[in-house]
Chain A
Amino acid sequence: MTKQVLVVDDDDGVREIIQLSLETVAGWNVLTATSGQEGIAIAKTQQPDLILLDVMMPDEDGIVVFQHLQTDPVTQSIPTILLTAKAQLSERKGFMEMGVNGVIVKPFQARELVQQINQILAW
């Protein structure tokens, strides 16, 4: 069964590149959201197999969105991987302690992205 991945990122370019990468490399079905609110709404209705969540977004950043997803019984079990441009190890460690499944640092290559997702979720 084709995996369905929700990509939440406010940057159009990044969002589009991720979508193209996942679709072309892994053949997964990709949903996109431009903000945290939109991402939460799609996650609730579509319940994707994975959420790729950008950390630094205006209004609600990725941390707030993740905490919101965790409080909702419908979305709390959906694996979530954070996408961040913050490359410091301490920051990444802090994200992992929050309970996310993984952290992928920008920038990344298409195959590398899919490979990391497969590794994190053991797909």
Chain B
Amino acid sequence: METLQNLFFPNQFIPHGHCYLWQPQLVWLHLLADVMIAIAYYSIPIMLVHFVRKRQDVPFPDIFLLFGLFITTCGTTHLMSVWTVWYPAYWLSGVLKAITAMVSIYTALALFPTLPAALALPSPEKLRQINQQLETEIEERKQAEAALQYQLTFDQLVSEISTRFINLAPEDVGDEINQALQTIGQFTGVDTSYLFQFEAAVNTFSMIHEWVNEGQTPQIKNAQNLPHTAFPWAIKTLRQGKVLYVPSVANLPLEAAIEKTHWQTFNLQSLISVPLMAQGKLLGWVGFASFQQEKVWSESSKQLLRMFAEILTRALQRQQAELALRQSESRLQMALEVGKTACWEHDLIKQRIQGFGRLVDGQWVPKTWQVDSEQAWAEIHPEDCLQVRQAILMALEAKGEFAVEHRLVRTCCPDQNEWVLTKGKVLENNSGLPTRIVGLTVDITERKQAEASLRESEERWQLALRGTNDGIWDWNVETNEVFYSPRFKQMLGYEDHEFANQTDEWERRVHPDDIEPVFAAVQAHFDQQTPYYQTEHRVRCKDGSYIWILDRAKVLRNEMGKVIRMTGSHTDITARKQAEADLRQLNQELETRVEERTAALKKSEQRFRSLFESAPDFIYVLDQQGVIQQVNSTVTKHSGYTELELTGQPLTKFLSNRTQAVSPQEFASILATGSHRQEMEFVCKDGQILTMDCSCTLVTDSSSDNYILVLQRDITERKKTEEERNQLLVTVQQSEQRWRSFLDNVRLMVIGLDASGYVNYVNPHCLQLLGYQRQEIEGKDGFETLLPQRQYQQRQGFFQSLLQDQVPSYYQSSVLTCSGEEKFVAWNTTVLKDTQGNSMGILSVGEDITERYAVDRIKDEFISVVSHELRTPLTSIHGALDLLATGLIDPQSDRGKHVFSLAVENSERLVQLVNDILELERLESAKIKLHQTSISTRELTQRAYELMELMAERESIQMEIGEIDLLVWGDGDRLIQVLTNLLSNAIKFSDPGSTVWVKVEEIIGSEGKYAQFMVKDQGRGIPADKVDQIFERFHQVDASESRRKGGTGLGLAICRSIIQQHNGKIWVQSVLGEGSCFFFTVPRHIE
């Protein structure tokens, strides 16, 4: 008790109210809040427990209870807060809080595993969806049940209908179909149901049964004999055995446009049609249609409709079969009664035969009969009995049927037979043994006769076919089968087996351009617009080529007029067609040519007319008497006469008297030769005389229509011009003559070149100078012929420049003579131009300056040599004196003295040279006159010897003088000068110890006697190539050596000059290395 007292009312703590300072508002605020929380906390667990108890399906009930406990403890802690305001039972309050804490922790822990499961619980939205789905399923199930019920009822109805058709009499089938259509239509809720039947023979459809709902109009009358093309899309579907289901007519596809239009005319909304098929062929269809609304047909309903259609199919087939059977029976009865036919039954057990219809005395009698088998065999032609027996035995063995054609013997006239076809079928008893044969015997005598005729006809036909070489075809229009004869195929290059007997085999080979006319021709013949079919068309062969075919045929019609066959032939007309094409082309070409010729003739006529009228010449047409028949306008225009004044008058009337005098001869000439030309004088009306160039031609059109065509051209002006020109020509010719004469005689070279450089003129002097004949040079390339090779190219360019006036016309060049000699010519050239100023070529006048050129060259060379010979010693003198004068070398020194001596030596040489030059010049210019006297050669040689003796001794040369002495006519000093010069040379160029001979002898020349001097040495000799030049000025063999030995190079030249002035000759004979021998001659003095 005390413990409880301490627990609830402790006194060791201060009540919580002190913390609130016992402020009444604050205390009341906490008090009321805690109490209300506590009340709320205690009420929630009560509701939770109640909920858990009421909703046993609620998951996780423990969690709810734990929440209740947790909330209760929480409420208690709030109540304890109220208690502690006044009583400080904090221990109790703490304990309660600890309990609350433990409960809350436990609850939280328990929540962890529960949370995923709680999250997985469906949401209210999901629960609502599930509910809705369930409701939908329930609704669908109900619909399915209703549909099932509908289907069961439908099924039952179809079964009942099926039952009603069992064993139904054919005549009742129609009513029953009507009833069935109504039953199904009403059950399915459609507005109409109907049955269409297909008439294969005419390819049409007709409605044969119909039911319509109340308020609807029957359409059966409008739906009769509809062509199969009326509903192409629908019929196509039905022919395939498919159900045609149109849930909405409005939504039909484009290919069903025809059906859509038709059905919308009748306000059809939807329809279904089920085909009636038998052996894959469409017999018709049963249909159900709605006008008010679109009708939906389930698959099961469609299946039931298919069953219904099957029932109807069988019913109709059976009805048709039974009706056909009845008709057949009826026809058989009728046939037996009216035809030549018997039916019979052979009892194999009793060997009796009974039947209806028999041949009696050649006539078929419609009556019942009975005979034994032996009797029956007797009526069969003996020759055929074996064949009949074999047929029957084979049928018995096979337990099948037989058919045999044989003859029956006429009892009245045994030689006449009746052909029959006997057909029989073996019947068995229950044990399988053959007991009876039932059969039919038909008279086929007429057929046999027809066959015989046909065979005969066929044979004739085959014979004809073979004869015509045509291909044959036979088209069965009803079956669309066609027969092509082997020849037909062979014509196209095919073997028999390569070409099928089908119409399209032929059709696809016909040329595309021909197929339409062919079909049109066939159709025309089918429509009886033509008595027979005939076309010409191209057919493609096996090799791809086309042949032309003449296709002829005629149709065969049945009694109704319907075409049942068409038979025809193919004739190869390719060759004919080609010939026709060739002929056509030929005709066309001919026509074209005729047209062209006609046009050309017209054009020619037109041209001639315009030529005739507009010609500038006078044109007359005369008859054979010369009378003017026709004139052109030029005549009237220029003559002053009118056409009337001219025509009908002889042409001669208008000619001058001078011309008239020769006119008869002219006409005679025209008529004899056919043409004539002459100048005439035409007198104009005003008296003016025109000179005419007249051309007359005899024109022969036909023998009786000859005329003379006269063309006169006014040549008055031309004549005048010609006269002036002739005058001018004479002037020109005279001028030309003068020039020609000048050119031919001038002592200058004249040569003309055309623009290509070819020689077109050369004057005689030029030819003479060059040594050519005219024909050797004229027409030749002037540069190639006349110019040295080295100048050829250069001169070609020069020539072109010359033609273009680009270079001076005066120049010098070398030309080659015929012998190859080169001549130097100074040319003066004129460029020749035509009237337009174009260069036509050149005319060159040349002067032969070869000699002058040579002289100039020699002079230049001489000056050059003299210059050299003079300048050489001058160089030494000048140089030496310069060295001494400038002090470069001391004159007193040895070198200076040597240099000085050089100057002196060369001065002497220069003096000698100048003297020689002057002497030679004087000799050659004949300024020195010879003092010729009679003088002894002995004296001359002796004096020379004496003069040269010292020099010879110095050079150790021995001289020998000859003994002969002759008198010569000459200048003694000059001849001694010659001898000393020759001796001096001989001594200078001879080795020491050698001998020099001087000899004289007399020789006789063409002009008298001469003394021939000879100076011979044993020196080095003269090279052969210098022998001829040795007497020229400065032509020493060795100038240096000669100079060194004091020679000037003029000594021999002076010798020659002296001897020549004595009318003598000087020459040398020399052998190199052996010595030289100089000769000169001087005329003898004859006393």
Residues of A within 8 A of B (CB): 10-14, 16-18, 20-21, 24-25, 34-35, 56-58, 84-88, 91, 106-111
- Report yes or no: B888 in contact with A110, Cβ–Cβ below 8 A: yes
State which of B106-114, B746-754, B806-814, B1035-1043 sits at the interface with chain A: B1035-1043
Question: Which residues from chain A contact B883 at a C-beta distance below 8 Å?
Answer: 17, 20-21, 24, 110
CB under 8 Å from chain A, chain B span 863-885: 864-865, 867-880, 882-883
A-B contact pairs, 7 of them (CB 8 A): A13-B873, A20-B879, A85-B870, A86-B864, A106-B874, A108-B875, A110-B888
State which of B571-579, B719-727, B898-906 sits at the interface with chain A: B898-906
CA of A105 to CA of B880, assembled, Å: 16
CA of A109 to CA of B887, assembled, Å: 13
CA of A94 to CA of B726, assembled, Å: 61
- Report yes or no: B876 in contact with A17, Cβ–Cβ below 8 A: yes
Question: Which residues from chain A contact B889 at a C-beta distance below 8 Å?
Answer: 20, 24
Question: Which residues from chain A contact B875 at a C-beta distance below 8 Å?
Answer: 11, 13-14, 17, 85, 106-108
- Report yes or no: B882 in contact with A106, Cβ–Cβ below 8 A: no
If A20-B899, A58-B1040 touch, does A110 touch B873 (CB 8 Å cutoff)?
no
Give the size category of B's interface with A: 20 to 34
Question: Which residues from chain B contact A85 at a C-beta distance below 8 Å?
Answer: 867-872, 875
- Report yes or no: A14 in contact with B876, Cβ–Cβ below 8 A: yes
- Report yes or no: B874 in contact with A107, Cβ–Cβ below 8 A: yes
B879 contacts which of A14, A34, A86, A91 (Cβ < 8 Å)?
A: A14
B 1038-1075 binary contact with A (CB < 8 Å = 1; else 0):
11100110000000000000000000000000000000
Question: Which residues from chain A contact B1043 at a C-beta distance below 8 Å?
Answer: 11
B902 contacts which of A17, A58, A109, A110 (Cβ < 8 Å)?
A: A17
In the complex, whether B895 has a CB less than 8 A from a CB of chain A is yes
Question: Which residues from chain B contact A106 at a C-beta distance below 8 Å?
Answer: 871-872, 874-875
In the complex, whether B886 has a CB less than 8 A from a CB of chain A is yes
Chain B nearest CB, measured from A71 CB (Å): 23
Closest 8 CB pairs of A and B: A13-B876, A17-B879, A85-B871, A10-B1040, A107-B878, A107-B875, A85-B868, A109-B882
Question: Which residues from chain A contact B906 at a C-beta distance below 8 Å?
Answer: 13
Instruction: Return the chain A residue nearest B906 by Cβ.
Output: A13
Question: Which residues from chain B contact A20 at a C-beta distance below 8 Å?
Answer: 879, 883, 888-889, 895, 899
CA of A24 to CA of B885, assembled, Å: 13
- Report yes or no: B868 in contact with A56, Cβ–Cβ below 8 A: yes
Instruction: Return the chain A residue nearest B1040 by Cβ.
Output: A10
CA of A21 to CA of B883, assembled, Å: 7
Chain A nearest CB, measured from B859 CB (Å): 13
- Report yes or no: B888 in contact with A24, Cβ–Cβ below 8 A: yes
Question: Which residues from chain B contact A11 at a C-beta distance below 8 Å?
Answer: 872, 875-876, 1040, 1043
Instruction: Return the chain A residue nearest B1043 by Cβ.
Output: A11
Instruction: Return the chain A residue nearest B901 by Cβ.
Output: A13
B1039 contacts which of A10, A14, A107 (Cβ < 8 Å)?
A: A10
Question: Which residues from chain A contact B865 at a C-beta distance below 8 Å?
Answer: 56
Chain B nearest CB, measured from A109 CB (Å): 4
CA of A106 to CA of B872, assembled, Å: 7
Chain A nearest CB, measured from B866 CB (Å): 9
CA of A58 to CA of B1038, assembled, Å: 6
Chain A nearest CB, measured from B122 CB (Å): 120
Chain B nearest CB, measured from A28 CB (Å): 14
- Report yes or no: A110 in contact with B886, Cβ–Cβ below 8 A: yes
Chain B nearest CB, measured from A114 CB (Å): 11
Question: Which residues from chain B contact A24 at a C-beta distance below 8 Å?
Answer: 883, 888-889
- Report yes or no: A110 in contact with B882, Cβ–Cβ below 8 A: yes
CA of A72 to CA of B877, assembled, Å: 35
Instruction: Return the chain A residue nearest B873 by Cβ.
Output: A13
Chain A nearest CB, measured from B909 CB (Å): 9
Chain A nearest CB, measured from B255 CB (Å): 107
CA of A21 to CA of B899, assembled, Å: 11
Chain B nearest CB, measured from A50 CB (Å): 18
Instruction: Return the chain A residue nearest B876 by Cβ.
Output: A13
Question: Which residues from chain A contact B886 at a C-beta distance below 8 Å?
Answer: 109-111
Question: Which residues from chain B contact A25 at a C-beta distance below 8 Å?
Answer: 888
- Report yes or no: A87 in contact with B867, Cβ–Cβ below 8 A: yes
Instruction: Return the chain B residue nearest A24 by Cβ.
Output: B888
Chain A nearest CB, measured from B897 CB (Å): 13
Question: Which residues from chain A contact B1040 at a C-beta distance below 8 Å?
Answer: 10-11, 34-35, 57-58
Chain B nearest CB, measured from A116 CB (Å): 13
Chain B nearest CB, measured from A4 CB (Å): 20
